[in-house]
Every structure is written in C-alpha cells, then in structure tokens.
Amino acid sequence: MPIALYDSVIMPILFMLNILFGLLLTSKNKRLTQAFAILFLILIVIFGFNLIKKSESNLLSFIRFGVYFVFYIFVTIEIIKQVLKTKSVSKNVITGLMSGYISMGFLAFFMFTTIEIAVPGSFKGLLPAGGTFLNKVDALLYYSYITLLTIGYGDIVPLTDVARKSSFFVGILGQFYIIIVTTVVVEKYIYNSRNRK
C-alpha cells in the first residue's frame, strides 16, 4: 500500500512541485514560463482525473510522461544557460550546477524509459524474477545516473543499438558537463576571488 500511495499520489505531487519551481527558474523568460504553466495545468487535470477514477489509463500515463520529458529538456537547458551566464559564483550558482546535473540524469531516465517502451528488452537486468513495470522504471532511473556518472557496474546492460548509443551519449554528456560546465564555474570563482583582494 505505501508504494502504491507513493506512485499514485506523492510522486505526481513532487513532480508538479518541480514544475512550479521551474516557473520560478524561468520567470524572466515569458514564453517558457507560459509553457511551464500549461504543462502544470495538464498535470493538474491528469492528477485530478486519476484521483477521481482511482487509476490511470495508458494514454494519460504517456501524456504525463511526455510532459515530464519536455519539462526536463527545457529546465536542464535553462539551468545550464543561467549557470554559464552568471558573472560571479554564489550559493545559487553551486545549487544550479548540482540541479543541472540532476536534471540531466532525469533526461537520461526519460530517454532510456522511452527506448524500453518503444523496443521492449532493450536493457538486460532491469527486472528481478516476477518484477513489474514499476521495477523496470526504478531500475532505469538507477541506470540513468550510473551511466551519467560513468560508474557502470554492469548489472544493467544495453542490448539494442539504440540503447547502446544512448548509453554512450549519456556517459559522454555527463563527462562534458563535469569538465566544461564545472570548469567554467570554478574559473569564475577563482577570477572573482582574485579580484576581491
């Protein structure tokens, strides 16, 4: 019961809160703010419908999934742009740096989940014996961050070409983020600390 409550109520609320925080992030960009507001309203309608009906249809699940995917594409780009544009390094920039990396992990998760839905069996090691689709989704979330971090334990393995290429792409993006974006922030911090003296 607690897992069902988490999946049907708590997790959707947390994702909707995330979109609300995305509205704050994009408050200077009127178009993006309006787009996030529309995404938020779509999620409110789906959430309300699911509460009334006590279940979610596949169509609504796919719409909700698509809304999250689109949201994380734009919010990740916006976070990285804001971190790179900043003149000085503050707590907000460090938080933005971490948020950008976490958002990239979510993007990888949505990409891998889309691949697994489109081509079932693209990843080996997702399901324990008797596992459900939710187990598969949880494993893909784990795999997304393990791949982004380039840890790669080998417990989950991409089998299809698209899964392998996507895994490679996510690993490279994770390294580029660490090397390029983090280096730019560190360089700005060093530059600003020298100028303060």
Q: Mean pLDDT over residues 14-38, rounded? A: 81
Whether residue 108 lies inside any domain: the answer is yes
Q: pTM of the predicted model, to two decimals?
A: 0.82
131 and 64 belong to one structural domain: no
Instruction: State both tokens at 156.
Output: 């989950």
138 in Cβ contact with 113 (< 8 Å): no
Tell me the two tokens of residue 80: 């990285």
In a domain, 153, yes or no: yes
Q: Are 56 and 92 within one domain?
A: no
Q: How many CA atoms lie within 13 A of 43 on its CB side?
A: 26
Per the model's pLDDT, the better-predicted residue between 123 and 19 turns out to be 123
- CA torsion, points 113, 160, 127, 49, in degrees to nearest 10? 20
- Report pLDDT digits (tens) over 150-174: 998 999 999 999 999 999 999 999 9
Q: What average pLDDT does the chain have?
A: 86
Which of 26-35, 117-126, 137-146, 157-166 is predicted least confidently? 26-35
Which residues are CB-neighbours of 99 under 8 A, at least 6 positions away?
79
Q: Same domain, yes or no, for 64 and 104?
A: no
Highest mean pLDDT among 52-56, 80-84, 125-129: 80-84
Which residue segment(s) compose the domain that 142 sits in? 86-197
Kindly tell me if the per-residue pLDDT of 99 is higher than 60.
yes
Q: 194 with 137, same domain?
A: yes
Query: How many domains does the chain fold into?
Result: 2
State the pLDDT at residue 48.
84
